[in-house]
Amino acid sequence: MKLLFAGSIYNKNDEKALIGSSKGGLPTASNVLQWNIIDGIIENGQCVDIIGVVPIGSFPQRSKRFMISKRHMTYHECDYDEIGYINISLLKSLIYEEKIKRKIKAWMSVNRNEDLAVIFYDLNKAFLNIIKWIKKNNYPVKTCLIVPDLSGNLRNDMGYSKFKNFLLKLLGGDVFKDVQNADSYVLLTEQMNDVVNITGSPHVIVDGVVDDTLSQFPDFIGDENEKIILYAGNLSVQYNMETLIKAFEELNELKDYRLWFCGKGNAESIITDAEKRDPRIHYLGQISKSELREIEKKVSFFINPRTNNGEYTKYSFPSKNLEYLLAGRPVIAYKLDGMSDDYDDIFMYIKGEEISDVKNILFDAYNMAPDDLIKKGKEGYDFVLKHNGAKKQAKRILAMLQGMTKKQ
């Protein structure tokens, strides 16, 4: 089988430069997930060519870059092409859609004697149009769509403006029609299948993928005189940042407790205001994955205060929770409807949505004995490598694709 991956993805080595040129943040979590899937496929002995669209905000409001240049590279002996485009809203998607079509036609021609499959990541409208184009022209290639989040009224609004959410939800119905053109699906939760896969096409549930090449439990180089809680990711007001801050501030007698934030989003002002009030709170901005790995060594706990509110929680699995586990520290979070019971003994679940509920678990975490903290972190680390390792999860995706292509 010859395999191609098309996604809104950027070269890991370019992360610092892209953060520097971005005004609205960079989707680091989705980039990590996509590369983990690609790496898992390669670990299984399957080369996968890559077409990447750099997912940076449009010029000039959300990025300093007017032009994204095309580039050809190799990744583990596979071809890796970044698509060039003019970084103007609406125009850029039209440009890279046509360029990706040409790339796929050339790829099909070169590999015309092979069984072919193309994996697309996300409900990007351009990608959905390309899947429809492949189906309409009856090209001899199977398509697979990875769906990390839904659309319309079932999507997570990610803290966007009311106008942007209105437009996205208005277009949601068309998106769901276009989704049906895919031959197969990779879904994050079982509930997604009822909404996305109405034709009963092949699908596999992959609730997150982590780098399984790590062979050593992460070092802890924290200060024994302080305990640090970290949230790293999208700083959306929707994710309960204000409640977390208020709960932490009520523990003002714990002078050696720290609450750190990394990322970008519309809750930044709430966090920076809290930083001025309470010297124990610290905002580090958006940082690269390599910088985050160094900071994680100082952390005692991770937290994701995103509550189980909204229909979309059935169709969402926060990949950041798994990255937290991989860092080898206990993870405080809410149980979302889309999360299976497999994780019940792994995460430290918050019991309610009041400030007092968050305060109570923060207090309990603070009082964990050092040995118990390390033990809990090690349990999560071992679990996520075994349960969500890249090679294992990619093997399941490949098995589905191989079963489809052999029937062509």
- Map out the domains of the chain as residue ranges: 2-209+389-405, 227-388
- For residue 42, pLDDT beyond 60: yes
Q: Which of 239, 223, 123 is nearest to 172 (CA)?
A: 123
Return the percentage of the chain with pLDDT > 90, whole number. 81
Tens digits of residue pLDDT in 123-164: 999 999 999 999 999 999 999 999 998 854 444 544 445 544
pLDDT at 222: 73
CB-based contacts of 271, cutoff 8 Å, min separation 6? 235, 241, 245, 261, 281, 283
Q: DSSP letter at 52?
A: E
φ and ψ at 203, to 5 degrees?
-150, 160
pTM: 0.92
Decide if 2-209+389-405 and 227-388 have a common fold: yes
Architecture of domain 2-209+389-405 in this structure: 3-Layer(aba) Sandwich (3.40)
Tens digits of residue pLDDT in 331-373: 999 999 989 999 999 999 999 999 999 999 999 999 999 899 9
Contact call for residues 171 and 190 (beta carbons, < 8 A): no
The Cα–Cα gap between 323 and 327 comes to: 7
Architecture of domain 227-388 in this structure: 3-Layer(aba) Sandwich (3.40)
The Cα–Cα gap between 175 and 288 comes to: 32
Q: Which of 392, 404, 407, 406 is nearest to 144 (CA)?
A: 404
CB-based contacts of 217, cutoff 8 Å, min separation 6? 328, 378, 381
* Peptide bond connecting 60 to the previous residue in cis, omega within 30 degrees of 0: yes
